[in-house]
Chains A and B, each alone.
Chain A
Amino acid sequence: MQALYGQLLVGLINGSFYALLSLGLAVIFGLVNVVNFAHGALYMTGAFLAWLGLSELGIGYWPALLLSPLAVGVLGMVVERTMLRRLYQLDNLYGLLFTFGLTLIIEGLFHHAYGNSGSSYPVPEALQGGTNLGFMYLPRYRAWVVLVSLVVCFGSWFVIERTRLGAYLRAGTENPRLLQAFGVNVPLMMTLTFGFGVALAGFAGVMAAPIYQVSPSMGSSLIIVVFAVVVVGGMGSILGSILTGLGLGLVEGLTKYFYPPAAATVIFAIMAVVLLLRPAGLFGRET
């Protein structure tokens, strides 16, 4: 049973990252209409910046948790302003191809500078150790990751669904031209939204740094799984992408316990089943 709970916890943690990343993807896609392939690479960048900050400048985990997503967000906004913006009036497959190229550049640069092998990032002092819950041992840092991810996810959901700012965002998703006619600066909003979405990826990266190895390829394998999560959930609903991310993480954890060889492929198998039974995705609105 210990092992089962352990795998469930791992699943929950993976699920938190799926949720954070698919949330960012959904927000960006909703307003900017770009599927950001570079999301995984920016997640990796976030983790690397935290690691570099610690090893080169002595910046600890807590400042990194703020600074690293900020840096990733600014990087994203610069890319959006200078390049991605030119592709909005085109078919949205060009946005995917552009961000794919960006992924190769970012990953290639990190590969060149830091090689293939991963580096470990220490768990911050305040979150070391863990608690024995009786039925399992709960490392404190992992509990923190799940908790914070949930808070950030539901916080984003609240902002988008329940505040004025979120109302602008949703209006922009529905009809950007009309919103602009009402005097809202939609291009600026797009830049900020893109920046926020990728900052979420960077944030997830910092959170992941102490759990997984910080390596240049940590993002690309993740982003493909997150795409499958997005297909299963559908990008129409913010809450839907959060729940799908968590749920699929748990399913993955269960598979790792009951039938380990299928753990890597189970999410894609679920994607196949969902496409058969409910092609629009669990929470999707098919056009």
Chain B
Amino acid sequence: MSGPPGLQEARAAYRAGIITPGRKRAFFIAMALSGLALPLAVYPVFLMNVLCMALFASAFNLLLGYTGLLSFGHAAFLGSAGYVTGHVLKEWGWPPELGLLAGTAVATLLGLLIGGLAIRRSGIYFAMITLGFAQMLYFLAVQLPFTGGEDGLQGIPRGTLFGLIPLDRTLPLYYLVYAIFLLGFFVIYRTIHSPFGHVLRSIRENEPRALSLGYDVDRYKLVAFVISAGLSGLAGATKALVLQFATLTDAHWHKSGEVVLMTLLGGMGTVMGPSVGALVVVTMDNYLSGVGDWVTVIIGSVFVVGVLAFRRGLVGEALHFARNFPI
């Protein structure tokens, strides 16, 4: 059995009876409920940022952890959706629900274009191609008039959801973001555990065999890429709505690297890993904002240490620990 070390730990945990269907259900219910209560205790804008990045990383993990495709250009989808949502909300006065849909739709379409080209090569080339297209979009974002260039889009109005719920108040906005996260998370969870998801895993484990069993491997990869791009777009659109701005930062290759880091740090190929990683990285970004350029050095060091010594990720390590020291 191969696959990312985090996933191997998750499998071993199943076999050892650490993860059982009952415990899993209890965990998800506890997670969902604590998410409802959290904004009373923690600064909601921070939480919303974490939720957006968690959705982004989970969508990314669908590709890296479950299909074995390393996209190094996922910022393209996060960034472009942010711009589109920001533009239609600010300039065209669309309601927020349509704004979110527009951003997601554009990211999905971009996913179809970029994915369709990138899956023509595999392995390490796939990473280089996605990185290249993302950089191309970044340059376009710098040049095109509607993105506001270096300044980005500022002061995006949040509007009123379905014409009923004003999103300028923090709590309604939080619950909207939380609902979007749960929806995205559910879509990913169902995808992973569907027959389609099993084919994806078989492609990661042994592509020639999947091909010889008659699966149209390229089509499966493309669909996975498009789902991942679309959900990343949803995350980017939501983020623009929350923070009320869309800037080049979200389209930069640093962001593409950051989502890899979140996934790696939390545990590739585990369901919860990317969200845990997103929490850690966003917290780190928040607390380290005072140290200037050291942030980059610290993030780079975490990357290096993570790759060298910590490939199971936090969730993988936790499962490993639980398996060896049963309570």
Which A residues are closer than 8 A to B by beta carbons?
29, 35, 83, 86-87, 90, 92-94, 96-98, 100-109, 111-112, 220-221, 224-225, 227-228, 230-231, 261, 264-265, 268-269, 271-272, 275-276, 279-280, 286
Contact = CB atoms under 8 A, between A and B. Distances in A.
B125 A100 contact: no
Interface residues of B, number: 43
A109 B297 contact: yes
Given A87-B307, A107-B296, A108-B296, A227 B131 contact: yes
Contacts of A220: 253
19 contacts: A35-B124, A83-B304, A93-B124, A101-B303, A102-B300, A102-B304, A103-B300, A104-B296, A104-B300, A105-B301, A108-B294, A108-B299, A227-B131, A231-B121, A268-B132, A272-B117, A275-B118, A275-B120, A276-B117
Given A108-B294, A264-B142, 9 more contacts: A96-B127, A98-B303, A101-B300, A102-B300, A103-B300, A104-B257, A105-B297, A106-B300, A279-B120
Interface stretch (B133-141, B181-189, B231-239): B133-141
A244 to B, nearest CB: 14
A101 B295 contact: no
Contacts of B304: 83, 98, 101-102, 105
A104 B258 CA distance: 11
Interface in B101-139: 117-118, 120-121, 123-125, 127-129, 131-133, 135-136, 139
Chain A contact surface mostly = helix
B117 A112 contact: no
Chain B contact surface mostly = helix
Contacts, number: 124
A284 B123 CA distance: 14
A230 B70 CA distance: 17
Interface in B269-327: 292-304, 306-308, 311
Given A87-B307, A97-B264, A265-B139, A228 B297 contact: no
Nearest to B5: A90
Contacts of B125: 231
B173 interface: no
Contacts of B132: 224-225, 227-228, 231, 268, 271
A162 to B, nearest CB: 28
A230 B121 CA distance: 12
A104 B303 contact: yes
A269 B253 CA distance: 18
A224 B131 contact: yes
Contacts of A224: 131-132, 135, 253
B260 interface: yes
